[in-house]
Structure formats: structure tokens, C-alpha cells
């Protein structure tokens, strides 16, 4: 049969595009939703849509190499007897031993410690290696309470009560059987190799009135020493921030929808929650309305990649930011050196997100001892420390250009937006105008 002349070339539907078609075919074949790791992959209004206004005549910049631009931050100044002092306003977010390998957790501790900042446990308890290699360690208190015990609670430098995370606000975790190794199973008191579902609500409290009582208990157990963080996924940031503050939190961690997860439903990652950019201003407003902005600390996370992102988040009112996915990339996640193996897994370096499978060629999101041994925790820790330095140097570069001697003096008024969306979400004017969409003024 001959092809007729002037035939239209194949044309894909924007609605039923190749990705959508592949997902329908996958769903029809398996009957289960797609589970993966990482954060939202769709394009979202982001920090890239904001620009800083450098100093010139009306404002004066600081000299890059001589004039100091402070980066330190103290967390937990509200009630804790022993607040945490960090050299840089970038922390490493909670990621569990279980979702990550032992060497990966060790590398996070080494990198964070070298940079003078904190790292965080995850849903699965605290390992001695992690405690040993982290000079400042935040201990997560999660609905599942895997591995929770008072000794580790007292060994921690701060306690983070996790209510939700940006990748899945309102959802519990999942750890598929491949990753429940004997050690992970023992730490979590679970049978080996099962598909583990974590709870989405805490077993012994719900709501701010009960949270207040839970915070009191944790303070009493640790003799009011440790800062108590409350972590929420961004969805109703004004109310959630206000209620966490009213319940007595020292630090509020607000995780936008670009924040990663070890494993959850793709539909959850892509369709629930607020972009980080849109979440910060309402949270800051809540603290300002309560007279608590800068009295308790706000940590923002979810898609922080560069020093510019750090500076923008701080300018919008955060006291610090937290990184997860970026930290894993710094360790060696999605490194092109493993391209041949990514290909075997049906993916490519830069797109690998099947962290739930435990087959990570880079040895990071796995419990396979052979794969895990590929990651040298000393070298990987060094890479993380380097990356944290770059984030800090970049943020300082911007702050100095705006005439600030401390990162915390960045303000929303130092920013403009490139798009109407970003202007509305960040509450800063559209570049070249004094128009903030959605505000009277």
C-alpha cells in the first residue's frame, strides 16, 4: 500500500499526550496507581519567576570580599532552654534510614556538620551512625513512631513533630517490601519484606488543642531543653502556621509541594498541596498577625536548589530553608556515571525517580548492601558540604548586592516578579510596575 501524498504528520493531543497515554496503559495493565519518589515534576510558579533589585544610587551595596554578610541563624528561641545555632540558614530535611541507605544517611550527617548546619532523621528512627556523624541532629516524631524511644529523644538536638510533608499533605508514607531489610524491619518492629503503610494521623492526638498537650509532654520528657519543631505540608499555610504557633511550637517547618518523598502515589505528589512560592507569604502573615514573626522561626522547604532560592525564601520571610532532593543530588543521586544502569531500569540520569524500588544505581535510596557500598560517605559528605557552601555564597552575593550585612535583612520589597502568577503568589510587584495582583495597594 502506498502512502498518499500530503498526508498530515503524526500529531499528538495536548490532552492525551504520550505521557498520559502511557499512564492509562500502565494503569489498565496493573490496576494500581503509580508510586514513585521525588517531588512534583510539573511546571509550577517558582522562585525563578522572582528577581532581586540590586543596589545602585538609592541604595548602596556591600563589597563582596571585605564587608561581612552574616549567615547565622538561631532556631528555637521561643521556649527551648537550648536553642540551636546554625552557621548557615540551610538545613538538611528529614529522610529516613530505610528510604535511604546507611552510607547516604552518614554522608548527610557529615556534609551538614562540615557546613555548620543540622540534619534530620526520618520515619524509621535514629541510627547510631547518623547521630555519630551529625553535630546537630533533629529527631522526627511521626505518626508511625517507628523506632521512637526516649533515649534517642534526649540524644537529639531538636524534635520535629511531623504533621505532613509537601509531597503529600494529608497522606502517610509507604515503604515497599524491597526496602524492608532485616535491619529496617527490626528498627520499625515490622515483618521483613512487607509493603509498609505508614499512618497519616498521629495515633494519640488530632488538632491544635491536642497538639498543645503533646508538645507539653515532649517538653516535659526532655526537661524543656530541646526546640520543638512542627512540620506541615503546604496546603492551608495561614491557618496551619497560626495553629502550630498557638500550640506552642518553637519552629515551624513549611514544606511546599515540590518537596520530595521516598515513595507515594504520583497523583498525590502532582495534585495536592501548594507550590512553595505560594505558601510562604500566608505563613509569614499568620506569624505577623500573632506578633511572632522572628520570635519563633519559620523554615521553608520544597524545591530549594540555588543560593538565589535561599535568598528569595528568606526575603519572603523565612528564617531558614531546608533541602532534601537537592542534598541527594549533591551526594550523587541521578549521576550520569550510572547512565548504563539507569537505562536498564528504563530511565535516564536526571529522570530516575523510582526510589521506592530500592534499586538505586547510585546506592542512595536503597537497602541493597552491594548498591549501598557504592556510595563513599566521606566523599559524598564532602560534596554536600561543597554544595551547601555554594548555596550560602550565592545567597550572600545577592544580599550584599542588595546592601544587606545579614541574610535576614532581605525583605519582600527587594523582590519583583516576572509573571503575574508569581507576583500574586509571592505578594511582590510585577517587574517594572507597582502592581501586586490581588492586593488593593
Partner 1 sequence: MPSFDLARAPLRELNAALHALSPTTNETHWIVSNPSGKHAVACGLDAPVTVEIDGHVGYYCAGMNKAATVVISGNAGVGVAENMMSGEVRVKGDASQSAGATGCGGLLVIEGNASARCGISMKGIDIVVKGSIGPMSAFMAQAGNLVVLGDAGDALGDSIYEARLFVRGRVASLGADCIEKPMTEEDRAILAAVLKRAGVEARADDFKLYGSARRLYHFHIDNVDAY
Partner 2 sequence: MCGIVGLFLKAPRLERELGALLSEMLVVMSDRGPDSAGFAVYGDRTQGRVKLTISGADEDVLRRAVAELGKAINETPAVTLHDTHAVLSICFDKEKAARAFIEGHDDISFVGAGARMELYKEVGRPEQVTQRFGLPRMAGSHGIGHTRMATESAVTTRGAHPFSTGLDQCLVHNGSLSNHNGVRRMLQREGMRFATENDTEVAAGYLSWRIREGASLKQALTDSLSDLDGFYTFVVGTETGFAVLRDPISCKPAVMAETDDYVAFGSEYRALAGLPGVDKAHIFEPEPATVYAWERR
The contact set with partner 2 (CB under 8 A) reads: 201, 206-210, 212-213, 236, 239, 243, 246
Q: Does residue 209 touch partner 1 according to CB under 8 A? A: no
Is the separation of the CB atoms in 249 and 229 below 8 Å?
A: yes
Q: Choose among partner 2, partner 1, none what residue 209 binds, the Cβ cut-off being 5 to 8 Å by kind.
A: partner 2
Distance CA 60, CA 107 (A): 40
Q: Choose among partner 2, partner 1, none what residue 23 binds, the Cβ cut-off being 5 to 8 Å by kind.
A: none
Is the separation of the CB atoms in 66 and 353 below 8 Å?
A: no
> Closer to partner 1 at the Cβ: 194 or 390?
194
Of residues 178-207, those binding partner 1 (CB under 8 A): 188-191, 194-195, 197, 199, 203-205
Distance CA 276, CA 306 (A): 14
The x, y and z cell numbers of residue 423, run together, are 507576583
Q: Choose among partner 2, partner 1, none what residue 271 binds, the Cβ cut-off being 5 to 8 Å by kind.
A: none
Is the separation of the CB atoms in 258 and 281 below 8 Å?
A: no
CA distances from 440 to 49, 264, 284, 288, 436 (A): 22, 40, 19, 19, 8
Closest separation in Å from C-beta 121 to partner 1: 16
Is the separation of the CB atoms in 88 and 392 below 8 Å?
A: yes
Is the separation of the CB atoms in 333 and 304 below 8 Å?
A: no
Q: Choose among partner 1, partner 2, none what residue 30 binds, the Cβ cut-off being 5 to 8 Å by kind.
A: partner 1
> Closer to partner 1 at the Cβ: 55 or 190?
190
Closest separation in Å from C-beta 311 to partner 1: 40
Q: Does residue 28 touch partner 1 according to CB under 8 A? A: no
Distance CA 120, CA 219 (A): 19
Specify the stretch interacting with partner 1 by CB under 8 A; choose among 141-149, 271-279, 341-349, 387-395.
Answer: 141-149
Distance CA 302, CA 276 (A): 6
Distance CA 110, CA 118 (A): 10
Q: Choose among partner 1, partner 2, none what residue 161 binds, the Cβ cut-off being 5 to 8 Å by kind.
A: none
The x, y and z cell numbers of residue 313, run together, are 525564601
Write the binding mask 224 to 253 for partner 1: x where contact by CB under 8 A, - elsewhere: x-----------------------------
> Closer to partner 1 at the Cβ: 267 or 378?
267
Query: Where on the chain is the footprint of partner 1 (CB under 8 A)?
Result: 30-32, 144-145, 148-151, 153, 177, 188-191, 194-195, 197, 199, 203-205, 210, 213-214, 216-217, 220-224
Amino acid at each position: 500500500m502506498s502512502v498518499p501524498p500530503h498526508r498530515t504528520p503524526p500529531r499528538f493531543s495536548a490532552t492525551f499526550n504520550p505521557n498520559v497515554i502511557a499512564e492509562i496503559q500502565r494503569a489498565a495493565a496493573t490496576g494500581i496507581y503509580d508510586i514513585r519518589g521525588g517531588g512534583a515534576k510539573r511546571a509550577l510558579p517558582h522562585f525563578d519567576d522572582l528577581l532581586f533589585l540590586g543596589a545602585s544610587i538609592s541604595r548602596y551595596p556591600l563589597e563582596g570580599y571585605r564587608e561581612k554578610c552574616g549567615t547565622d541563624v538561631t532556631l528555637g528561641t521561643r521556649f527551648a532552654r537550648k536553642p540551636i545555632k546554625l552557621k548557615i540558614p540551610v538545613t538538611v530535611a528529614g529522610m529516613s534510614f530505610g528510604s535511604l541507605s546507611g552510607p547516604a544517611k552518614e554522608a548527610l550527617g557529615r556534609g551538614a556538620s562540615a557546613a555548620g548546619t543540622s540534619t534530620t532523621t526520618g520515619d524509621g528512627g535514629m541510627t547510631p551512625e547518623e547521630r555519630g556523624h551529625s553535630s546537630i541532629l533533629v529527631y522526627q516524631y511521626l505518626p508511625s513512631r517507628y523506632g521512637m524511644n526516649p533515649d534517642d529523644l534526649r540524644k537529639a538536638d531538636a524534635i520535629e513533630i511531623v504533621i505532613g510533608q509537601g509531597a503529600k499533605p494529608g497522606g502517610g508514607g509507604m515503604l515497599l517490601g524491597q526496602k524492608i531489610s532485616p535491619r529496617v524491619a527490626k528498627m520499625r518492629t515490622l515483618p521483613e519484606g512487607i509493603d509498609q503503610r505508614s499512618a497519616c494521623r498521629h495515633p494519640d492526638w488530632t488538632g491544635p488543642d491536642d497538639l498543645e498537650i503533646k508538645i507539653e509532654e515532649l517538653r516535659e520528657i526532655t526537661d524543656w531543653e530541646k526546640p520543638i519543631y512542627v512540620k506541615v505540608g503546604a496546603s492551608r499555610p495561614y491557618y496551619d502556621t497560626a495553629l502550630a504557633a498557638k500550640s506552642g511550637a518553637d519552629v515551624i517547618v513549611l514544606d511546599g509541594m515540590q518537596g520530595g518523598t521516598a515513595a507515594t502515589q504520583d497523583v498525590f505528589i502532582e495534585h495536592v498541596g501548594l507550590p512553595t512560592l505560594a505558601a510562604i507569604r500566608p505563613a509569614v502573615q499568620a506569624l505577623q498577625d500573632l506578633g511572632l514573626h522572628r520570635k519563633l522561626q519559620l523554615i521553608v522547604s520544597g524545591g530549594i536548589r540555588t543560593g538565589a532560592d535561599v535568598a528569595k525564601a528568606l526575603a519572603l520571610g523565612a528564617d531558614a530553608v531546608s533541602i532534601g532532593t537537592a542534598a541527594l543530588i549533591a551526594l550523587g543521586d541521578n549521576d550520569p556515571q550510572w547512565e548504563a544502569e539507569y537505562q536498564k531500569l528504563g530511565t535516564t540520569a536526571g529522570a530516575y525517580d523510582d526510589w521506592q524500588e530500592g534499586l538505586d544505581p547510585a546506592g542512595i535510596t536503597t537497602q541493597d548492601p552491594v548498591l549501598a557500598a557504592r556510595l563513599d560517605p566521606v566523599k559524598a559528605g564532602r560534596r554536600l558540604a561543597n554544595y551547601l557552601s555554594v548555596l550560602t555564597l550565592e545567597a550572600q552575593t545577592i544580599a550584599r548586592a542588595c546592601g544587606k550585612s545579614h541574610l535576614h535583612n532581605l525583605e519582600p520589597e527587594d523582590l519583583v516578579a516576572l509573571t503575574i502568577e508569581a507576583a500574586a503568589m509571592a505578594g511582590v510587584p510585577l517587574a517594572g510596575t507597582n502592581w501586586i495582583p490581588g492586593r488593593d495597594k
